[in-house]
Amino acid sequence: MASVYAIATMDTKGDEIGYVAECARNAGAEVTVVDVGTQSDALGSPDVSRETVAACHEGGTDAVLGHTDRGEAVTVMGEALCAYLLKEYAEGNVAGVIGIGGSGGTALVTPAMQALPIGVPKVMVSTVASGNTEPYVGACDITMMYSVVDVAGINRVSRQVMGNAAHAIAGMVVNSVAEAEDKPTLGMTMFGVTTPCVTMVRETLEAEGYDCLVFHATGTGGQAMEKLVESGMIDGVLDITTTEVADEVVGGVFPAGADRMDRILDRGIPYVVSLGALDMVNFGAQDTVPEHFQNRNLYVHNAQVTLMRTTVEENRQFAEWIANKLNRSTRPIRILIPENGVSLIDAEDQPFHDVDADTALFETLESQIEQTSDRQIKRLAHNINDPEFAAALVASFKEVNG
């Protein structure tokens, strides 16, 4: 029977993970306690020993245990845990995962949680859950719970917090979510400045029976979409807003990540790409824009978001970045170019309208993409938000989905 895998470094947190396991069992869940300690002997009796986990490392047990440097030990044990959990999940043993820990334990356990598919329940009780959790959560559905006090003993605070977390994971695995209606699922990327286009595309395809998932193109948005693609939960992608590439190349706050587009191409699902919002790089409040960019064309989107118009040279770099990705496609894809602007504020008479920058983007892309019968570029004399362009995106999707 699949169970909740309760994970901790039991050389320091044996009593605490034992308490979590007891609470989860009392709430109706099967529980498997896993020790990932790296230093001294376990406090308590795990169901899965650290040696068993360590043996799943590609370098074997000796590559994991015996490190005197704690940082190295945490890193390699994290790699072993990832391999172990993926193996257990593939065998149908994992119903959910709960971890407890400080900064080291959190850094050890959460990468393995990230490796599991979206939808597998994941809860992490952590001392660092009230700060920047992006390194631990990534683009995954990990529930982070702040421990309030350190994970060090069972006291009036930790008893309640860890008990709540145990009941939460038990509730997730005991109470299944009803299956969604069986519709083909599509991923789409959107920004405020491409909303009219994406809305038209989404409404058209929803009317034709597709389940459309829209992702805000904020770096993690694109990464979350690709995580779902990797998990087999998305059947096709309309990557209309590729602005994350601009932040990746120039250094904005919403970077794509070096592997953006890779999982879509690896899966070989129907793929349509456009150039939405590549006229901008994103920063926070205006006073956070790096000094060497302060003399650029800046647009205050709101008090917390400042946009910077991209240059001719930067647009050439975006085109080369995208082309390097798309040229390795092995299934039919379409790349659509909106000749009259890539966003609402790149239209004529708008603050980011720049024909030279757009031309550099379009012409470099055309010169760098190796066009074939399956990999085609289409140029349209429209702004990205024109109804005609939205209709062309839908038509192109139907071509590659045929």
Say if residue 367's pLDDT is above 80: yes
**Contact (CB, 8 A) for 297 and 308:** yes
The β-bridge relationship of strands 305-309 and 280-283 is antiparallel
Q: Assign 3-class secondary structure to 280-301.
A: EEEECCHHHCCHHHCCCCEEEE
All domains in the chain, ordered by first residue: 3-174 (3.40.50.12020), 185-400 (3.40.50.12030)
Confidence of residue 323 (pLDDT cuts 50, 70, 90): very high
Say if residue 26's pLDDT is above 90: yes
**Contact (CB, 8 A) for 391 and 348:** no
**Per-residue pLDDT averaged across 85-108, rounded?**
96
Q: What is the pLDDT of residue 303?
A: 87
Q: What is the pLDDT of residue 44?
A: 83
User: CA 276, CA 345: separation in Å to the nearest integer?
Assistant: 11
Say if residue 180's pLDDT is above 90: no
Q: Count the neighbouring beta carbons within 10 Å of the beta carbon of residue 181.
A: 7
Residue 239: strand pairing partners: 273
How does pLDDT run across 260-298, given as a tens digit for each residue? 999 999 999 999 999 999 999 999 999 999 999 999 999
**Contact (CB, 8 A) for 381 and 339:** yes
Structural element, H or E, at residue 376: strand 375-380
**Contact (CB, 8 A) for 31 and 25:** yes
- DSSP string of 127-175? TTTTS--HHHHTTS--EEEE-SS-SSS--HHHHHHHHHHHHHHHHHHHS
Q: Count the neighbouring beta carbons within 10 Å of the beta carbon of residue 295.
A: 7
Q: At what angle do helices 195-207 and 387-400 cross, to 10 degrees?
A: 50
Say what the pTM is.
0.81
Say if residue 23's pLDDT is above 80: yes
How does pLDDT run across 41-77, given as a tens digit for each residue? 778 889 999 999 999 999 888 888 877 777 888 899 9
% of the chain beyond a pLDDT of 90: 86
Structural element, H or E, at residue 180: none
**Per-residue pLDDT averaged across 382-393, rounded?**
98
What token pair was written down for 369?
Answer: 């993409």
DSSP state of 117: P
The β-bridge relationship of strands 236-239 and 271-273 is parallel
Selection from 79, 88, 71, 32 nearest residue 54 by Cα? 79
Q: What is the pLDDT of residue 69?
A: 77
Write down the H helix ranges in 176-256.
Answer: 195-207, 220-230, 244-250
Q: Which of 135-139, 180-184, 347-351 has the highest mean pLDDT?
A: 347-351
Average predicted confidence (pLDDT) for the chain: 94
Confidence of residue 29 (pLDDT cuts 50, 70, 90): very high
